[in-house]
């Protein structure tokens, strides 16, 4: 049992680190859209999906929360345009990503 807990902890920390690096390295996690100025496209949902499938319900919730917190922090630290004003509200930036993490796991369980 202890070995499994250490394994889960290590994988969770690695996924959180991947999300953190993708969020703060420009053009890696949040990519400015060439078609719509001021809007960023994201690839950070990929580690959340993979981590949610591998680690389970509680960890997918945690990964989704961390994804949302990174969106919130970047809306304050590195705004791309007027759309980031909306993402300064935690109900817009954090809550949908928490729900995203939970829904990913539930969809995977249904399949």
Model confidence over 53-92: pLDDT tens digits? 999 999 999 999 999 999 999 999 988 888 889 999 999 9
pTM of the model as a whole: 0.91
Could you read off the pLDDT of 14-62 as tens digits, one per residue? Answer: 999 999 999 999 889 988 888 888 888 899 999 999 999 999 999 999 9
CATH topology of domain 2-106: Arp2/3 complex 21 kDa subunit ARPC3 (1.10.1760)
CA trace torsion 50, 23, 97, 107 (10° rounding): -10
The Cα angle at residue 64 between residues 58 and 65, in degrees rounded to 5 = 90
């Amino acid at each position: 049992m202890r070995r499994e807990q250490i394994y889960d902890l290590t994988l969770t920390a690695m996924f959180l680190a991947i999300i953190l690096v993708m969020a703060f390295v420009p053009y890696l996690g949040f990519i400015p859209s060439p078609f719509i100025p001021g809007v960023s496209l994201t690839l950070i949902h990929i580690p959340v999906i993979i981590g949610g499938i591998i680690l389970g319900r509680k960890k997918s919730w945690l990964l989704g929360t961390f994804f949302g917190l990174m969106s919130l922090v970047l809306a304050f630290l590195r705004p791309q345009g007027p759309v980031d004003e909306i993402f300064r509200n935690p109900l817009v930036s954090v809550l949908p990503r928490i729900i995203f993490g939970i829904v990913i796991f539930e969809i995977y369980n249904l399949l």
